[in-house]
A and B are shown apart, each in its own frame.
Chain A
Amino acid sequence: MRFKLTFPKELADKPVFSEAILRFHKPFNIIEADVDAEKGIIVASVDLSESDLKDFIRFFEERGVRVELLAKLLEVDLERCISCGACVSLCPVEAITIAKDWSVVFDEERCVACGLCVNACPTHALKLSIR
């Protein structure tokens, strides 16, 4: 599953994320990280069981970090998609690829919700459910 953490600036110099890695003993895949004067944002994915998930959310919220679950960001309307491929070269994380038979294939799990493909799709076949 994928999630987005928003750190207030007071936590900028605290190793909260590293603590979480030690605590949950799971590999985290950081998809996007962005820090500005106000806040830090990390979008990452990790494989967690239902019960761990609750602990995980509590762990961050107790420390003042906002957690948003980003389950299935990208919604594809396969009825509208014409497999043109206009979206493919825009995706920064290879969530959209072209198969051997020229079908356009979506790996919704990889999507980091940058939004580029959504606007570029000529048939409005793509939608982001969050953001």
Chain B
Amino acid sequence: MSGDRGAETLRSYEEINEKIRRGDVVVLTADDYARLADERGWREASREVDVVTTGTFGAMCSSGAFLNFGHTEPPMKMHRCWLNDVPAYKGLAAVDAYIGATAMSETRPFEYGGGHVIEDLVAGREVELRAEAYGTDCYPRRYLETSITIYDLNQAILVNPRNAYQRYNAATNSTDRILYTYMGTLLPYYGNVTFSGSGVLSPLYKDLYLETIGIGTRIFLGGGIGYIIGEGTQHNPSIGMSTLMVRGDLRKMNPRYLRGASFYRYGTTLYVGVGIAIPLINENVAKTAALRDEDIYTDILDYGVPSRSRPSVRRVSYAELKSGRIVINDRSVKVSPLSSMKMAMEIASILKKWIEEGIFYLSRPIELLPNDTVFKPLEVRRREPRVSEVMRRDIPTIKADEDLRSAAKLLVDHGIDHLPVVDGYGRLVGIVTSWDIARALAYGRMKLEDIMTKRVITATDYEPIHSVVAKMERYNISGLPVVDSDNRVIGLITADDISRKFATRGAVP
């Protein structure tokens, strides 16, 4: 299909726009079109329907706005600046700045951030502007504190480098603790599932091969009219994860469709409303626009695995996800959407109305988006020190049925504070520390089994040291047994060992 991608065999943009002008264009929201196609077949449905409207309203972290403040008297080359205490990027000319959605307030981090600043600006609310400069001959001013509204700005342009993922993975959590992620709160032991994306209404999924979506496509953006300016970062069409870069005038947007948000213990972001009108120009488009929630699949990934390649727990359709419950390991689990389906439907309906009323015309893209790029990971080239370089290997272990006295003796003889407890095969079953023993003696308990910690946090020998340090901080512990893939104890790593090893470098990596 690459040769004639974008071919206008069913109808042309001119024909559609002419119908909009005449007022007899036929527009359906993507869910209605999918229903119609299901009843009568996509071929017949696409004979009647000219345009299908889509919508999504989700957290889109790669969003932000370029602002131009205008010059003060005397003028200033702002070197650093803050809006409501949220730092904006100032690596630009004197009074240009970029406020990013995930930048967090320095006084109210995790609560208020760049996304909220954008919402406040769009809502016409006053925003505190603070700026610092080093002062130059041409820009003498060094400090500024004032308040601004969006009406004071010369330009306020939303430019989002990555929006509207074609589809996204769903998330769950296999571990025994609650995880707070950009996919929301994930309850332990597969306690819930969250997902993002609007499935049947998903803008990029409805034009799966990107035949009508490209540079210059006019779209609904944040309640106003915006444009696609290219493929988004991490654009990955080969696996159905295409993305968009978009731009639009913030001053014509509506705070209902641009909402500052924060994910607990993750950070701030911006909910962005994006809607795309897909002209049914050829059969490929007519066919993919008819895809139903039942036809759109994604993977549920286990966010309990702290890796960029998280394992898939299972594949699932958007129909199942939207049903509110899915089955994982024979158990029915509750599902939360993270993007608002209600707002997505509202956006698709507004766009439909705009077209029917002749407010919104379709634009043929100047250039289609690439359909062959891939998303590469970042390999860490600088060697990271690993547990195997720091851990002690010659450490004693003890069996659970031995007595306290032998445990105490082992600790003293080896000059250590942590003693792993193992079963007959050398597999880890617990850990005792000198503190546990002191406490046991104080309370007169004599059996190791009663005093050992059974849920042990462990390390592996190839794990980077910084990951072990993070575990020590999170669980407030000072030593971890190092285990192999069969959970057999092969060593011990302690905070002391780490600081001794890196003392000369001044800092723990």
- In the complex, besides A86-B338, A98-B324, 19 extra interface pairs with C-beta distance below 8 angstroms are A82-B57, A82-B343, A83-B342, A84-B57, A84-B58, A85-B340, A85-B341, A86-B336, A89-B193, A89-B335, A102-B345, A104-B342, A116-B185, A119-B264, A120-B184, A122-B59, A122-B261, A122-B263, A122-B271
Q: Which residues of chain B come closer than 8 Å to A120, judged between CB atoms?
A: 184-185, 264
Chain A 81-131 interface residues, beta-carbon cutoff 8 Å to B: 82-90, 98, 101-104, 116, 119-120, 122-124
Residue in B closest to A80 when the chains form the complex, CB atoms: B259
Q: Which residues of chain B come closer than 8 Å to A82, judged between CB atoms?
A: 57, 259, 271, 340, 342-343
State which of A83, A90, A101 has its C-beta within 8 Å of the C-beta of B192: A90
Indicate whether B337 reaches chain A with its CB closer than 8 angstroms: yes
CB pair B339–A84 under 8 Å, yes or no, is: yes
A22 vs B263: C-alpha distance when bound (angstroms) = 47
With both chains docked as a complex, state the minimum distance between the C-beta of A124 and any C-beta of chain B, in angstroms.
7
Chain A 41-92 interface residues, beta-carbon cutoff 8 Å to B: 82-90
Q: A82-B57, A119-B264, A120-B185 are in contact. Are A90 and B336 (CB under 8 A)?
A: yes
Indicate whether B202 reaches chain A with its CB closer than 8 angstroms: no
Q: Which of B59, B193, B261, B324 has the most A CB atoms < 10 Å from its CB?
A: B261
Indicate whether B46 reaches chain A with its CB closer than 8 angstroms: no
Chain B 183-202 interface residues, beta-carbon cutoff 8 Å to A: 184-185, 187, 192-194
Q: Which residues of chain B come closer than 8 Å to A87, judged between CB atoms?
A: 336
CB pair B342–A101 under 8 Å, yes or no, is: yes
How many contacts A-B (CB < 8 Å)? 78
A27 vs B180: C-alpha distance when bound (angstroms) = 38
A89 vs B261: C-alpha distance when bound (angstroms) = 19
With both chains docked as a complex, state the minimum distance between the C-beta of B151 and any C-beta of chain A, in angstroms.
23
With both chains docked as a complex, state the minimum distance between the C-beta of B309 and any C-beta of chain A, in angstroms.
25
Q: Which residues of chain B come closer than 8 Å to A86, judged between CB atoms?
A: 184-185, 194, 336-338
Interface size class for chain A? 20 to 34
CB pair A85–B261 under 8 Å, yes or no, is: no
Indicate whether B399 reaches chain A with its CB closer than 8 angstroms: no
Q: Which residues of chain B come closer than 8 Å to A122, judged between CB atoms?
A: 59, 184, 261-263, 269, 271, 338
Q: A84-B340, A85-B338 are in contact. Are A90 and B259 (CB under 8 A)?
A: no
Binding site for B on A (CB under 8 A): 82-90, 98, 101-104, 116, 119-120, 122-124
Indicate whether B353 reaches chain A with its CB closer than 8 angstroms: no
Q: Which residues of chain A come closer than 8 Å to B271, judged between CB atoms?
A: 82, 84, 122-123
Residue in A closest to B264 when the chains form the complex, CB atoms: A119
A90 vs B333: C-alpha distance when bound (angstroms) = 11
14 A/B residue pairs, CB under 8 Å, sorted by A = A82-B271, A83-B341, A84-B337, A84-B338, A84-B340, A86-B337, A87-B336, A90-B192, A98-B337, A102-B340, A122-B184, A123-B261, A124-B111, A124-B262
State which of A90, A102, A116, A124 has its C-beta within 8 Å of the C-beta of B341: A102
A123 vs B271: C-alpha distance when bound (angstroms) = 9
* Interface residue count on the B side (C-beta < 8 Å): 32
Q: Which residues of chain B come closer than 8 Å to A123, judged between CB atoms?
A: 259-261, 271
Q: Which residues of chain B come closer than 8 Å to A103, judged between CB atoms?
A: 342
With both chains docked as a complex, state the minimum distance between the C-beta of B222 and any C-beta of chain A, in angstroms.
13
Indicate whether B334 reaches chain A with its CB closer than 8 angstroms: yes
Q: Which residues of chain B come closer than 8 Å to A98, judged between CB atoms?
A: 324, 337
**Interface readout for B253-269 with A: 1 if CB under 8 Å, 0 if not?**
00000011111100001
State the main secondary structure of chain A at its contact with B.
loop
Chain B 25-74 interface residues, beta-carbon cutoff 8 Å to A: 57-59
CB pair A85–B345 under 8 Å, yes or no, is: no
7 nearest A-B residue pairs (beta carbon): A122-B261, A89-B336, A89-B192, A89-B334, A102-B342, A83-B342, A102-B341
Q: Which residues of chain B come closer than 8 Å to A89, judged between CB atoms?
A: 187, 192-194, 333-336
With both chains docked as a complex, state the minimum distance between the C-beta of B266 and any C-beta of chain A, in angstroms.
10
Q: Which residues of chain B come closer than 8 Å to A88, judged between CB atoms?
A: 324, 334-337
Q: A82-B259, A82-B343 are in contact. Are A90 and B185 (CB under 8 A)?
A: yes
A124 vs B268: C-alpha distance when bound (angstroms) = 12
With both chains docked as a complex, state the minimum distance between the C-beta of A131 and any C-beta of chain B, in angstroms.
17
CB pair A90–B264 under 8 Å, yes or no, is: no
A98 vs B321: C-alpha distance when bound (angstroms) = 13
**Interface readout for B228-241 with A: 1 if CB under 8 Å, 0 if not?**
00000000000000
With both chains docked as a complex, state the minimum distance between the C-beta of B113 and any C-beta of chain A, in angstroms.
11
**Interface readout for B338-376 with A: 1 if CB under 8 Å, 0 if not?**
111111010000000000000000000000000000000
**Interface readout for B315-341 with A: 1 if CB under 8 Å, 0 if not?**
000000000100000000111111111
With both chains docked as a complex, state the minimum distance between the C-beta of B181 and any C-beta of chain A, in angstroms.
11
Residue in B closest to A84 when the chains form the complex, CB atoms: B340
With both chains docked as a complex, state the minimum distance between the C-beta of A117 and any C-beta of chain B, in angstroms.
9
Q: Which residues of chain A come closer than 8 Å to B57, judged between CB atoms?
A: 82, 84
A86 vs B345: C-alpha distance when bound (angstroms) = 17
A89 vs B57: C-alpha distance when bound (angstroms) = 19
Q: Which residues of chain B come closer than 8 Å to A102, judged between CB atoms?
A: 340-342, 345
A11 vs B246: C-alpha distance when bound (angstroms) = 65
Q: Which residues of chain A come closer than 8 Å to B262, judged between CB atoms?
A: 122, 124
A116 vs B186: C-alpha distance when bound (angstroms) = 10
Q: Which residues of chain A come closer than 8 Å to B342, judged between CB atoms?
A: 82-83, 101-104
With both chains docked as a complex, state the minimum distance between the C-beta of B238 and any C-beta of chain A, in angstroms.
29
Residue in A closest to B115 when the chains form the complex, CB atoms: A122
Q: Which residues of chain A come closer than 8 Å to B338, judged between CB atoms?
A: 84-86, 122
Q: Which of B58, B333, B336, B341 has the most A CB atoms < 10 Å from its CB?
A: B336
A90 vs B262: C-alpha distance when bound (angstroms) = 17
A102 vs B271: C-alpha distance when bound (angstroms) = 17
A87 vs B342: C-alpha distance when bound (angstroms) = 15
Q: Which residues of chain A come closer than 8 Å to B185, judged between CB atoms?
A: 86, 90, 116, 119-120
With both chains docked as a complex, state the minimum distance between the C-beta of A95 and any C-beta of chain B, in angstroms.
13
